[in-house]
Every structure is written in C-alpha cells, then in structure tokens.
Amino acid sequence: MGKQRVLSGVQPTGNYHLGNYLGAIRNWVEGQSEYENYLFVADLHAITVPHEPKQLASDTYTLVALYLACGLDLNYSTIFVQSHVSAHSELTWLLNCITPLNWLQDMIQFKEKAVKQGENVSAGLLDYPVLMASDILLYQADKVPVGEDQKQHLELTRDIAARFNHLFAQPDRPVLKLPDPLIRKEGARVMSLADGKRKMSKSDPSDLSRINLLDPPDQIQYKIKRCKTDPIRGLTFDDPERPECNNLLTLYTLLSGKTKEEVAAECQDMGWGQFKPLFTETTIAALKPIQEKYQAITEDKSYLESVLRDGREKAEAIANQTLAQVKAALGYSTPL
C-alpha cells in the first residue's frame, strides 16, 4: 500500500509567526517522510478578507521560501500555489451548488469573522469552507492536519463529499474520498505576547503581539522584553490565572527541544528577569538556521520559480483528474 496523502496550507497574509511555525509548518516537516504531502499557499483564501494587492505576490513567495527554509523536503512534499491550479476555483463553484446555505451559515468561524467586519462581509468569507472542501477533495486527501478552529470545516468537507457521492456517484464507486483529521500528539496553540488568552495571529494590528519568523535578533529581544507577564516569582505551567506564563514556558519548551518536565524544573524558582534573557537567546538560536536558509533561498528567484512550476504540474495532474470525474458525474459533456 502507498503512503497516505496529506494536504494543508497557510494563507499568504504576511507576518508569518511562531504560531504558524509551531502549530503547522514544523509539524508538517516532522511527519513529512511518513506521508505524500501536498502543501500549498492558500492565496484564494487570503482575499476572503480585505487584502493588499501589492503584497499578495511577494507574500506568496516569502511563504514558499519559508516552507523550504523550515525544512520541507521536495522528495516528500509537493509545494504549490492554490491560484495556480484553476481546478480549486472550478470545483468550488460545482460544490457550491450542492451545499445547503444553512450549513455555511452555521460555521462558527464565519460568525466570528463576520461580526468583526460588519456590513463589509463578503460572500467569499461565507463560502470559505467550500473552497477549503475543494482544496482537500481535489487531491483525494486521506488526512488533513487540523487545529481546533478548523475541525468544524473538516466535518463540513466530509459532509459535502458524502452528499456529492450520495447524489451523483454509484454506491460502490464514490467519486470523492472522505478525509480524516490528522491529530498531532501535542497541538501547540501559541498565544499572543500581549495577551495570553488570545491566539498569536498574523492579523493582530500590534506587531509586538507576535514573534515573526523573520524578525532580526534585536527585534526578538525587544518584543520579549516588552511582552506581558505577571508579578509572581516562580514560573509554572497550566495555572489558569497565569496564561502568559504558561504560553511563554510552552514556547520555551518547544523552541529549546527540552521536555515540559525539564522546563518546569528549570524555571520553578525563576523570576521574569532571569527567564526572559534565556527565552530570548533560545528563540534567536532556534530561528537562526531558518533565517539563514531563507536568505539563501530568496537570493535565487529562479529556484523558487522552478519549485512552483514543478509543484503546479504535480498538483494539476491529480486535481484535474478529480475535477474531470466530478464533472462527468454531474453530467457535463467533455470539451471537444
């Protein structure tokens, strides 16, 4: 039996941070040899909220270079840009027409993001989960790494696939594969440096709330110096009254490669004045190899272009096949 296929992506909305790395990209890298990986830059998703056209292409290239700098290996992973494979948009339209509107209106993430945007909320934001379903179903993915916030969307993907198969496929010959979630051992949820109860996020207006993967050492030092802490001496994990403390210790654990027990013992008698320089040094050291590799990769634009050309070809070979099967099942004629 061949390897199982995994699909995942990050939106090219700039400010790639430790949450994107520890919660997503590093996990892909660690598990990559076990699976056949299709990893994309989700640039169609990026315009479901207001975006800056001048930034979109350069943010896309930055993200591809970061994927490679973080350790994605082209022997195991196909890297491509979502908008380069037109089947994503086309399947979205076809699946839109079999997805009940109320399924989309029930999505928690839509409700949360729509509230923030008021009257400017786009139909694209409502439709985001159908695009996500298309991303996954086009590649007949076996597994999709999902965090808590995306679980509901993966459920919806399964519902859409099951509905399509039920309506348009032979009972013994489903057209679309139902994907399963890929649950990692310890889902790292990285919280904001400014508020330990909010997740670290690209769209937070304050750059001091996150450590970006490409922040230079002096900026990392400044951000950690300024980050929110508490007045208590002795640092502990898992105290609900001390979310910032738990977050910073978790980050230190993940970046140092030490175990939680080791860090708990090391930091139990520390004050912030002692911990912060240690955490700063560890963060800078962990990001240094990524930043160096990133510099080398971006110096050779033709290399990045060739990665994306190959990626697109490999992705299209699978995506177009699924799209053709879907269209045939729906009764479309083939172009002459």
Tell me if 251 sits within 8 A of 283, measured CB to CB.
Answer: yes
> Which is catalytic among the residues 54, 111, 113, 185?
113
CA–CA dist 216, 127 (Å, integer): 37
Overall residue count recorded for the chain in this entry: 336
Binding of residue 11 to ligand AQP (CB under 6 A): yes
**Position among 4, 122, 201, 325 found at the interface with ligand AQP (CB under 6 A):** 201
Binding of residue 206 to ligand AQP (CB under 6 A): no
* Beta strand segments in 16-84, E: 36-41, 77-81
Q: Which position has the token pair 């808590």?
A: 148
Q: Which is nearer to ligand AQP, 24 or 29 (CB)?
A: 24
Q: Which is nearer to ligand AQP, 13 or 140 (CB)?
A: 13
> Which is catalytic among the residues 177, 202, 228, 258?
202
**Position among 5, 6, 7, 23 found at the interface with ligand AQP (CB under 6 A):** 23
Q: Is 113 a catalytic residue?
A: yes
CA–CA dist 150, 180 (Å, integer): 12
Binding of residue 24 to ligand AQP (CB under 6 A): yes
Binding of residue 147 to ligand AQP (CB under 6 A): yes
List all residues 6 or more positions away from 257 whose beta carbon is below 8 Å from its beta carbon: none
Sheet containing 77-81, strands listed edge to edge, beginning at the edge strand earlier in sequence: 77-81, 36-41, 5-10, 143-145, 180-182
**Position among 51, 202, 314, 327 found at the interface with ligand AQP (CB under 6 A):** 202
Number of helical H runs and strand E runs in the chain: 13, 5
Q: Is 293 a catalytic residue?
A: no
Binding of residue 184 to ligand AQP (CB under 6 A): no
CA–CA dist 218, 224 (Å, integer): 10
Which residues sit in the known binding site for L-tryptophan?
A: 135
Residue 8's DSSP bridge partners are 39
* Beta strand segments in 128-179, E: 143-145
Binding of residue 51 to ligand AQP (CB under 6 A): no
The whole-angstrom distance between residue 39's C-alpha and the CA centroid of its chain comes to 9
Which residues sit in the known binding site?
A: 11-13, 19-20, 135, 147-149, 190, 199-203
Q: Which is nearer to ligand AQP, 165 or 179 (CB)?
A: 179
Q: Is 185 a catalytic residue?
A: no
Closest distance between ligand AQP and the C-beta of residue 183, in Å? Answer: 13
> Which is catalytic among the residues 143, 199, 223, 276?
199
CA–CA dist 186, 204 (Å, integer): 25
Of 18-26, 96-104, 135-143, 215-223, which part binds ligand AQP (CB under 6 A)? 18-26
Binding of residue 200 to ligand AQP (CB under 6 A): yes
Structure tokens at 259: 């175990």
Q: Which is nearer to ligand AQP, 189 or 260 (CB)?
A: 189
Of 73-81, 200-208, 243-251, 290-298, which part binds ligand AQP (CB under 6 A)? 200-208
Q: How many CB atoms lie within 10 A of CB 204?
A: 18
Ranked by CB distance to ligand AQP, the top (closest) residue is 23
Binding of residue 282 to ligand AQP (CB under 6 A): no
Q: Which is nearer to ligand AQP, 188 or 315 (CB)?
A: 188
Greatest CA separation for the chain: 75
CA–CA dist 262, 258 (Å, integer): 6
**Position among 130, 190, 267, 290 found at the interface with ligand AQP (CB under 6 A):** 190
Closest distance between ligand AQP and the C-beta of residue 15, in Å? Answer: 7
Q: Which helix (H) or strand (E) holds 132?
A: helix 123-138
Q: Which is nearer to ligand AQP, 184 or 314 (CB)?
A: 184
Q: Which position has the token pair 């994927």?
A: 67
Binding site for ligand AQP (CB under 6 A): 10-11, 13, 19-20, 23-24, 42, 147, 188-190, 199-203
